[in-house]
Structure 1
Amino acid sequence: MTGKKEINPFLKQVLELGPPLAFFFIYLRLRDDSFLIGGIEYSGFIVATILFVPLMLAAMGVLWFLTGKLSRIQIFTAIMVIFFGGLTAWFNDERFFKMKTTLVYGFFSIMLGIGLLQGKSYLAYVLDEMLPMRHEGWMILTRRLCGCFAVLAAANEFVWRTMSTDLWVKIETFAFPIALMVFLMLQFNLLQGYMDDPDHQ
C-alpha cells in the first residue's frame, strides 16, 4: 500500500472516462470514411478502434504513474481491449471489438457466480478497502451484480447482432456505463444497513 497515492478525483475520472469518450468522437468523425493501409481497406470504425487502444493504454499509464496502482478490473479490461482490438485490426472485422463487451461483462458475471457457489464474495476481495460492509451485505450485492453483468452481456449480444454500428457505439459508450452506475447507486442505498461503522473498528 505504500506505493498508493491520492490524485484529484476529477482528474481520475478524466483518465478513466476520457478514452471511451475519445473513441466515440473519433468514430463519429471517421465513420463515413475508409482508409487504405498496407494495401488493405479499413472502415472508420476499425481505425477508431485501432486509435482507441493506445489512448486507453496511455491514460492507464498516467493513472498508474500518478496513483501507484491499477485495479484488477482495470488491468483485465485493458487486456481484453488490447486482445480484441488486435483481432479487430488483424482480421479487419469489427465484430471482434463488439464481442469484447459481452465477454467482459460475461467474465465478471461468471467469476462472481463461482465465488457465490463457494459461499464467497469476490467483489468484497476487490472493493472491501473502499467500501467496508458486513459479509451478508457483500453476498447480497454480489448476487445482484452477478445478475446485472449477465443481463448487460446478453443486452450487448442483442444490440450488436441486431442493430446498427452507430447505435451500438452510443449504447456501449453511454447506456451500458450509465445503467451500471445507476444500478450500483441504487444497491448502495438499499444496503446502507449492512455498512460497517468505521468508528467501531
Structure 2
Amino acid sequence: MTGGNLFEAKPGSPERKEMNPLLKLTLELGPLMIFFFANSRGPALAERFPALGELGGPLFLATAAFMVATAIALSVSWLLTRKLPIMPLVSGVVVLVFGGLTLWLQDETFIKVKPTIVNGLFAFILLGGLLFGRSLLAYVFDSAFRLTDEGWKKLTLAWGLFFIVLAVLNEIVWRNFSTDFWVAFKVWGIMPITFAFTLAMLPIITRNSLPDERSNGR
C-alpha cells in the first residue's frame, strides 16, 4: 500500500468509497456537540466523575472530550472506508495539537484560536488549490452532487472566502466576549450561519449540475 492510498480517492474515482450522508454529517458534527455538552455540564460531570475535575474547569474538560470524540470520529471513518477524509483530517490534527496545548498549559487561548486556524487553513487550501487549477471542494461534496468544472470553481471560491469570514468572526467573538458566549456561538451561531450560506449556494449548484452517471450503472 502506498502512502497515497491512506487518503480518500479523487472525486469520481471508482476507488472512492462513499459514506452514508447522515452518518458523515454525524461524524463531522458529533465532536462539536459533545464539546458544547461537556462545557455546559462540566461541573456536574466533574462532581459525578472526580477524576475529570483534575483536567481543570469546564472548558478544559470539554476540550478533552472534544479531542477524544474527534479521534473516534476519524477512526470510525477509517474503519468504514479504509481512507482518511482530507478536510476532517486537517481539522482533527489541529484539534489534537491545540487541544493538547490547552490542557498542558491550562490556557484557554489555544482552543479558542483553533477555529481561526482551522478556517484559515481551509481557506488557504481551497483558494490555494484554485491557483493551481484544482477545485478541492469536490473532495468534500462529490458524494452529494456532481458539478461542471466551472461550477466547482465557483463553489470552491465562495467557500474559501466564507472560511475567511468564519475565521474573522471567531477572532471577534473570543476576544470580546465571555468563554460561555464563545462556546454557545461556536455551536448555535456558526451552525445556522453555515446552513444559511449553504442554502445561498444552491443556485450555483443548480445551474452547474451534471446528470448523475452513477445512476446509469457507470
TM-score, length-scaled by structure 2 = 0.78
Cα deviation, 1:103-157, whole Å, max 9, x if unaligned, reads 1101111222222333432223554454311111112112211111111000000
Are the structure 2 counterparts of residues 69 and 195 from structure 1 closer, same or farther at C-alpha, using a change threshold of 3 Å?
Answer: same
Aligned residues: 198
Task: Return 140-149 or 124-133, whichever deviates more.
Answer: 124-133
Which residue in the other structure is 1:163 paired with?
Answer: 177
Describe the SS at the equivalent of 2:56.
strand
1:106 matched to 2:120? The reply is yes
Q: What's the secondary structure of 1:78's corresponding residue?
A: helix
Match of 2:32 among 20, 24, 27: 20
Are 1:5 and 1:66, in contact at CA under 8 Å, matched by a contact in 2?
Answer: no
| Structure 2 CA distance for partners of 1:29 and 1:77, relative to 1, 3 Å | same
5 Å-filtered alignment, 1:56-75, equals 56-75=70-89
Which residue pairs with 2:17 in the alignment? Answer: 4
Distance 1:192 1:150, change over 3 A: same
1:186 CA displacement: 1.9
Secondary structure of 1:42's match? coil
Letter in 2 for 1:43: G
RMSD after superposition: 2.9
Letter in 2 for 1:26: A
Structure 2 unaligned regions, length at least 5? 1-13
Paired residue for 1:150, among 151, 158, 164?
A: 164
**Given the superposition, is the C-alpha separation of residues 3 and 186 from structure 1 closer, same or farther in structure 2, using an over 3 Å criterion?**
closer
CA contact (8 A) 2:18 2:143 kept: no
% identical aligned pairs? 35
Contact 2:32 2:187 in 1 (8 A): yes
What TM-score do you get using the length of structure 1 for normalisation? Answer: 0.84
